[in-house]
Amino acid sequence: MSSTRRRFLKTGLLAGSTLVASGCNTEVSVTQEEATIGQPLKILVLGGTGFIGPHMVREALRRGHQVELFNRGRTNNVLFPDLKLHKGDRDNDLRSLEDGSWDAVIDNSGYVPRHVENSARLLSSAVSHYLYISTVSVYGDVSGPVVNEDTAVGTLDDESVEEVTGETYGPLKALCEQRVFSEIGTERTTILRPTYICGPGDRTDRYTYWPARTLLGGEMLWPGTPDDDIQIIDVRDLANFTVDCLEQQIKGIFNTVTPPLSFRMGDLLHDCQKVIANDMSPTWVSTEFLTEQKVGLPIWEDPKGEMAILNRVDGSRALAAGLRNRPTLETARDTVAWWKTLPAERTSIFNAGLTLAREDELLRIWHDLNAAA
Ligand SMILES: NC(=O)c1ccc[n+]([C@@H]2O[C@H](COP(=O)([O-])OP(=O)(O)OC[C@H]3O[C@@H](n4cnc5c(N)ncnc54)[C@H](OP(=O)(O)O)[C@@H]3O)[C@@H](O)[C@H]2O)c1
């Protein structure tokens, strides 16, 4: 642990106070030992009320920093009633940011290069450090044996495109990164490139599908083999590393992932079974079968497919800079605990994965094929 970090963790301005972290129903107690002394930072978060933003806001507050928000006031607008909100729209209204100054900005709501360029240009003289949340989807050429921060990013024929689709998302995020660099400069910029972000509060259900479906019990379809590699990043680990980067002035580009080859579909199954001891019985169906049936499943890739390398992204640079991945069992446990707090109308439909009817149909075809063979 660096001396800066030690200084930050020593004793507290916020001794004994309690921050209620709504959104994932977690209560965060700030103890004497945990809170910040030294130089609390004044941090602006662009998009602090979605999924990842609240975890970052809470972590920064837990360490005693001052946090201000910028957003339109539409998403989870009751989440942080005590924080200063600069109301505005990245698309066309940054006026509420014109007179402020901050030590650092966390930009986690930038998808369109024009938006990111405008905020970075405006904030260039008002912040010391710009941290942009990007994605591993920026990588364009994934044909090599490894994907690291030097791998070429994807490009767009028409860079004026602003519609975010499955195809444009990655190259647009790459352009956003470039806009931050050109407006802020490399020496004041941090770019984090997470893979699937998961944990309490995730609205996509891509990771959540697996433990949430396990909860329902019965026969469950699992894709490929237990050895197929996957990668995730727990949202709390991403939030910790984000605040570390600001406190310790960590600059540069970092993939933020679980270490490659450290987590496989079989480990995910094991985590789900350990957290949820019920009658769920897994049936592994082959990749060929899923391809024939035109079925894709969240966070899993055909290990021989062209995108498989994106489940083996090199994260060693972030690891060396201090990123710590919690045990995946903890992610499963806390995701299940959060999922159980949600209303039935939310949990009755998965935002990713198979419907129960489709899963049932696929399992029936799979068993018929095997019986006939
Ligand atoms: N989920 C993943 O697995 C994953 C993986 C890799 C990277 N990422 C990156 O992580 C970030 C996603 O974070 P998220 O899901 O927490 O947030 P998000 O849904 O993208 O953004 C939500 C936040 O941004 C604000 N916002 C949205 N549109 C706005 C606008 N036009 N002007 C001002 N504020 C606006 C929202 O508040 P208002 O609605 O009130 O404005 C809210 O605070 C993105 O940068 C994404 O590329 C995600």
pLDDT of 321 > 80? The answer is yes
> Can you tell me which atom of ligand 1 is nearest the CA of 137?
6
Helix locations, the chain, DSSP H: 3-9, 52-62, 113-123, 169-184, 209-215, 235-247, 265-275, 287-292, 316-321, 328-339, 344-347, 356-372
> Can you tell me which atom of ligand 1 is nearest the CA of 202?
1
Contact (Cβ atoms closer than 8 angstroms) between residue 202 and residue 235:
yes
Q: Ligand 1 test: best mutation among 109, 191, 235, 311, most atoms within 8 Å of CB? A: 109
**Residue 73: how many other CB atoms lie within 10 Å:** 12
Q: What is the pLDDT of residues 246-260, one digit of tens each?
A: 999 999 999 999 999
**pTM summary value:** 0.91
Task: Return the pLDDT at 373.
Answer: 84
Say if ligand 1 is within 6 A of residue 298 CB: no
Structure tokens at 143: 């044909």
Say if ligand 1 is within 6 A of residue 252 CB: no
Say if ligand 1 is within 6 A of residue 89 CB: yes
What is the DSSP-derived secondary structure letter of residue 229? Answer: B
Q: What is the pLDDT of residues 104-131, one digit of tens each?
A: 999 999 999 999 999 999 999 999 999 9
Task: Please report, for the chain, the start and end positions of each structural domain, with discontinuous segments joined by +.
Answer: 201-230+260-312+327-372
Q: Whose CA is nearest to atom 41 of ligand 1?
A: 72
Say if ligand 1 is within 6 A of residue 127 CB: no
Q: What is the pLDDT of residues 155-201, one digit of tens each?
A: 999 999 999 999 999 999 999 999 999 999 999 999 999 999 999 99
Q: Ligand 1 test: best mutation among 55, 59, 71, most atoms within 8 Å of CB? A: 71
Task: Return the pLDDT at 38.
Answer: 54
pLDDT of 22 > 70? The answer is no
> Can you tell me which atom of ligand 1 is nearest the CA of 110?
45
Instruction: Give the distance (Å) from ligand 1 centre to CA of residue 289.
Output: 35
How far apart are alpha carbons 31 and 34 in whole angstroms? 5
Measured on CA atoms in the order 306, 311, 312, 315, is the torsion positive or negative? positive
> Can you tell me which atom of ligand 1 is nearest the CA of 91?
31
pLDDT of 16 > 70? The answer is no
Say if ligand 1 is within 6 A of residue 133 CB: yes
> Can you tell me which atom of ligand 1 is nearest the CA of 69?
43
What is the DSSP-derived secondary structure letter of residue 11? Answer: S
> Can you tell me which atom of ligand 1 is nearest the CA of 203?
15
Instruction: Give the distance (Å) from ligand 1 centre to CA of residue 71.
Output: 10
Task: Return the pLDDT at 161.
Answer: 97
Amino acid 5 reads R
pLDDT of 299 > 70? The answer is yes
Task: Return the pLDDT at 141.
Answer: 84
